[in-house]
């Protein structure tokens, strides 16, 4: 392990790659601190720039965006009282009140320190559990992999707030999109006599179209419906380093607990920073000796929130690298980056591309250090940047999406794919269909079909999926996740009815 | 009278799509001795799943009845006026996609950005014009230079 780690350190330590990580971190923080822009959008915008890079440079740049993005939401949360990303919602609960009390520098400093420690702990989790899970999953055969993909999709679909049927529909649609064009046997499917459809859809324009258009148009609609005034921001921030060190020295257990929660939640499909954020904040409050101080500007709340959402970055890499199954949207895009560079994430990656795996570890660590330096030195600028209006941002991002889609294969058809799937994504979003299962379906579709037919070629009986213990376990978990989701939906409906009755 | 709600429209559209694709799947070469399951099996399974889920969404929606809308119902011209920004931007992006191969990256992108900024920000003040032209004028050549010389990607 030490060998490939040192090799990775050598590659990532080159000035060029360090510069790319710094650019990635800066862009990630900017993306994270602009309300409504999100980490995922920052990753999508940066992604096309990796096309011409070697795998280590491309992955390092993207890791930089991850690390910066998860910590960027802190700035607008503290300075404006608006979470830059959904994963920093609970940061606002205590960060903003602390800033309002005249201590924005302290709130930002605590948040940055917690983000840094959260990232470090999550890298430790990744380094320990990644190879362990990967070596165990080497035993997986096509039946287990197929069942695992089914489980991942049902879990993500089931977690779509009260919209399980639509989540499942979205997952099936995502899988269906991958069946267009020539298949593994060179048979043409669903080309509708259009030659351009013969080669199928590239994953990236589909993903970018579905996500970016719905998100950006949604932001515009929100802007249209929300007539509240633009907040003024005081960018005169002083960081009280001594006080922050003292604060952090009292937060050791909270930091560790929140980081572990973030890493664990990040490793589960369909969850991500938002869920980690809330669970960790809730746990910190329960374990605190002064729960009444939460929400009034206590350091405990900021630490719980920021350590957990930053720890998601390392945790989310575990299933992506070890199993080839991304847990959330940013990871689905990260998987797209790896596939684009000819690397198939999964158990074999640890054997076939150990240096690249090491480069991810090292980039996460270096990214965390750069993030701290950037946040502390440039926080005033980030606060100003967070005020960039959506009216300027939306056309620029759409243009970059179009250029990125074109640059993938120097093919204008991909820009059309982006546009068509942009319309489809927007319409589905308007119909309240969750888009994450759809995108995961698109990413996992090819592998699922390949594994399903490999299983059937080895043993023609469908019952084998149920007679192999691990495969049966994954399918049972898939069913259990749906039953749990049904139960949750019913509970939410009954609560809504009770509230309605109470109001009447 | 039955109303066309979001769920019903979604379910009907998905069932229509599944139906069309099921018919189209008839054009996929059938199974043979060395491909016992054929290339149509996987998409057909998915189409059945899509159809069944859409049917469930439709039935659930019919059983629940039409939910009273939170927002007031609008006539088509009112709806058009309410959503003019989003619709305009979609239209503009479509036009940009058409023009990209015809007039090239620089002209098409410059045109797209200037019109899109004007649509979203307005053009009622001198400051807005300056922001519009400055952002468009700097960004378009900058992206071109990065892709052409930094990443060796030829833009159209």
pLDDT along chain A (504 residues), means of 10: 78 91 93 82 86 86 89 82 79 88 89 92 88 82 91 83 86 95 88 87 89 88 70 72 91 93 81 79 87 89 91 85 82 81 81 86 92 87 81 91 88 93 94 90 90 91 93 93 84 75 54
Angle at A197 between CA A196 and CA A202, to 5 degrees: 100
Nearest CA in chain B to A221: B86
Question: Considering only CB atoms, which chain A residues are within 8 Å of B46?
Answer: 172, 175-176, 179
Helix A164-177 vs helix B41-64: crossing angle, to nearest 10 = 150
Contact B139 A396 (CB under 8 A): yes
| Buried-state track A199-215, b at ≥16 Cβ within 10 A, e below 16 | ebbbbbbbbbbbbbbbb
pLDDT tens string A246-260: 999 999 999 999 999
Cβ A87 vs Cβ A294: under 8 Å: no
Beta-carbon contacts of A40 under 8 Å, excluding residues fewer than 6 positions away, are: A211, A215, A329, A330, A333
Question: Considering only CB atoms, which chain B residues are within 8 Å of A185?
Answer: 35, 39
Question: SS3 for B35?
Answer: strand
B143: distance to nearest CA of chain A, Å? 8
pLDDT of residue A504: 45
Contact A389 B121 (CB under 8 A): yes
pLDDT tens string A49-83: 887 888 889 889 999 998 898 888 888 888 878 77
pLDDT of residue A443: 86
Token representation of residue B25: 């799947």
C-alpha A229: how far from its chain's center? 31
Question: Considering only CB atoms, which chain B residues are within 8 Å of A230?
Answer: none
Contact B135 A392 (CB under 8 A): yes
Tell which residue, A235, A148, A228, has the closest CA to residue A473: A148
d(CA A374, CA A367): 10
Tell which residue, B65, B49, B53, B2, has the closest CA to residue A433: B53
- A49 in B contact zone (CB under 8 Å): yes
d(CA A65, CA A20): 10
Which phi and psi angles does A365 have, rounded to 5°? -65, -50
pLDDT of residue A44: 85
Query: Which residue from B6, B90, B151 is facing A431, i.e. has the nearest CB?
Result: B6
Token representation of residue A188: 């043409």
d(CA A293, CA A283): 14
First to last CA, chain A: 65
Question: Considering only CB atoms, which chain B residues are within 8 Å of A461?
Answer: none
* Position B68 confidence tier, pLDDT thresholds 50, 70, 90: low
Cβ atoms < 10 Å from Cβ of A489: 17
Give B70: exposed, middle or buried? Use CB within 10 Å, 0-12, 13-18, 19+. exposed
Question: Considering only CB atoms, which chain B residues are within 8 Å of A426?
Answer: 86, 90
pLDDT of residue A421: 96
Residues 216-235 of A with CB under 8 A from B: 217, 220-221, 224
A323: distance to nearest CA of chain B, Å? 22
Kindly state the DSSP code that residue A195 receives in the 8-state scheme. G
Is the pTM here over 0.90, yes or no? no
Tell which residue, A199, A169, A167, has the closest CA to residue A182: A199
d(CA B117, CA A357): 42
Nearest CA in chain A to B114: A395
Token representation of residue A129: 């559990």
B42: distance to nearest CA of chain A, Å? 7
What rounded mean pLDDT belongs to chain B?
89
DSSP A303-367: HHHHHHHHHHHHHHHHHHHHHS---SHHHHHHHHHHHHTT---STTHHHH-HHHHHHHHHHHHHH
Question: Considering only CB atoms, which chain A residues are within 8 Å of B9?
Answer: 431
Contact A398 B154 (CB under 8 A): no
Contact B154 A175 (CB under 8 A): no
- B79 in A contact zone (CB under 8 Å): no
Question: Considering only CB atoms, which chain A residues are within 8 Å of B151?
Answer: 49, 51-53, 407
Whole-number Cα distances in Å, B156 to A395, B103, B105, B150: 19, 8, 5, 16
Tell which residue, B40, B12, B43, B53, has the closest CA to residue A175: B43
Size of interface A-B (CB pairs under 8 A): 142
pLDDT of residue A161: 63
d(CA B79, CA A363): 49
B73: distance to nearest CA of chain A, Å? 16
Whole-number Cα distances in Å, A401 to A41, A47, A342, B97: 10, 9, 22, 12
Cβ A104 vs Cβ A78: under 8 Å: yes
d(CA A146, CA A399): 37
Question: Considering only CB atoms, which chain B residues are within 8 Å of A460?
Answer: 36
Residue carrying structure tokens 């989003």: B86
- B36 in A contact zone (CB under 8 Å): yes
d(CA A95, CA A78): 5
- A431 in B contact zone (CB under 8 Å): yes
Contact B100 A168 (CB under 8 A): no
- A413 in B contact zone (CB under 8 Å): no
Beta-carbon contacts of B45 under 8 Å, excluding residues fewer than 6 positions away, are: none
pLDDT tens string B128-156: 999 999 999 999 999 999 888 877 888 88
Contact B112 A395 (CB under 8 A): yes
- A452 in B contact zone (CB under 8 Å): yes
B6: distance to nearest CA of chain A, Å? 5
| Buried-state track A257-280, b at ≥16 Cβ within 10 A, e below 16 | bbbbbbbbbbbbbbbbbbbbbbbb
Contact B155 A407 (CB under 8 A): yes
Query: Which residue from A389, A412, A449 is facing B100, i.e. has the nearest CB?
Result: A412
Question: Considering only CB atoms, which chain B residues are within 8 Å of A419?
Answer: 93-94, 97
Contact A410 B153 (CB under 8 A): yes
Which phi and psi angles does A157 have, rounded to 5°? -65, -40
- DSSP β-bridge partners for residue A189: A181
């Amino acid at each position: 392990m030490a060998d490939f780690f040192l090799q990775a350190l050598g590659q990532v330590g080159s000035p060029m790659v360090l510069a790319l990580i710094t650019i990635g971190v800066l862009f990630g923080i900017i993306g994270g601190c602009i309300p409504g822009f999100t980490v995922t959008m920052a990753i999508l915008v940066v992604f096309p720039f990796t096309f011409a890079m070697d795998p280590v440079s491309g992955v390092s740049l993207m890791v930089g965006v991850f690390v910066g993005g998860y910590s960027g939401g802190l700035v607008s949360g503290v300075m404006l009282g608006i979470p830059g990303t959904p994963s920093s919602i609970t940061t606002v609960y205590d960060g903003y009140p602390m800033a309002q009390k005249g201590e924005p520098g302290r709130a930002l400093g605590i948040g940055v320190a917690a983000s840094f420690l959260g990232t470090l702990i999550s890298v430790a989790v990744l380094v320990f559990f990644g190879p362990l899970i990967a070596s165990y999953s080497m035993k997986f055969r096509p039946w287990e992999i197929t069942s695992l993909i089914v489980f991942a999709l049902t879990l993500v679909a089931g977690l779509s707030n009260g919209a399980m049927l639509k989540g499942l529909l979205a997952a099936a649609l995502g899988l269906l999109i991958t069946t267009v064009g020539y298949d593994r046997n060179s048979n043409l499917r669903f080309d509708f006599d259009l030659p351009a459809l013969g080669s199928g859809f590239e994953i990236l324009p589909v993903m970018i179209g579905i996500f970016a258009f719905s998100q950006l148009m949604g932001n515009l609609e929100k802007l249209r419906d929300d007539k509240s005034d633009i907040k003024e921001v005081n960018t005169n921030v002083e960081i009280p380093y001594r006080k922050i060190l003292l604060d952090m020295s009292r937060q050791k257990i909270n930091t560790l607990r929140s980081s572990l929660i973030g890493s664990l939640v990040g490793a589960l499909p369909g969850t991500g920073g938002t869920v980690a954020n809330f669970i960790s904040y809730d746990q910190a409050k329960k374990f605190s000796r002064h729960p009444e101080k939460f929400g009034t500007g206590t350091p405990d709340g900021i630490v719980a929130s920021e350590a957990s959402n930053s720890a998601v970055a390392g945790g989310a890499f575990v299933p992506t690298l070890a199993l080839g199954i991304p847990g959330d949207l940013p990871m689905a895009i990260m998987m797209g980056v790896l596939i684009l560079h000819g690397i198939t994430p999964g158990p074999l990656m640890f054997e076939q591309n150990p240096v690249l795996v090491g480069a991810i570890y090292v980039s996460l660590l270096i990214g965390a250090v750069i993030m701290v330096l950037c946040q502390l030195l440039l926080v005033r600028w980030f606060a100003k940047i967070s005020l960039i209006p959506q009216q300027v941002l939306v056309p620029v991002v759409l243009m970059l999406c179009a250029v990125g889609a074109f640059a993938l294969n120097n093919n204008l058809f991909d820009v059309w794919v982006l546009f068509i799937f942009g319309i489809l994504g927007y319409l589905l979003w308007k119909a309240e269909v969750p888009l994450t299962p759809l995108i995961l379906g698109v990413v996992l579709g090819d592998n699922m079909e390949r594994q399903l037919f490999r299983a059937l070629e080895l043993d023609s009986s469908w019952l084998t999926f149920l007679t192999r213990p691990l495969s049966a376990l994954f399918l049972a978990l898939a069913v259990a996740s749906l039953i749990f989701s049904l139960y949750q939906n019913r509970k939410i409906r009954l609560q809504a009815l009770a509230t309605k009755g109470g109001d009447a | 009278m039955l109303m066309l709600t979001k769920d019903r429209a979604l379910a009907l559209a998905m069932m229509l799509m599944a139906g069309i694709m099921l018919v189209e799947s008839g054009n996929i070469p059938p199974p043979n001795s060395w491909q016992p399951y054929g290339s149509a099996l996987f998409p057909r399974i998915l189409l059945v799943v899509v159809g069944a889920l859409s049917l469930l969404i439709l039935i659930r929606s019919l059983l629940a009845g039409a939910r009273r809308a939170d927002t007031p119902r609008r006539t088509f011209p009112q709806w058009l006026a309410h959503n003019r920004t989003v619709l305009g931007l979609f239209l503009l992006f479509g036009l940009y996609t058409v023009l990209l191969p015809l007039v090239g990256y620089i002209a098409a992108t410059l045109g797209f950005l200037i019109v899109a900024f004007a649509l979203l920000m307005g053009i009622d003040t001198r400051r807005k014009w300056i922001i519009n032209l400055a952002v468009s004028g700097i960004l378009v050549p900058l992206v071109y230079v990065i892709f052409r010389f930094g990443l060796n990607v030829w833009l159209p």
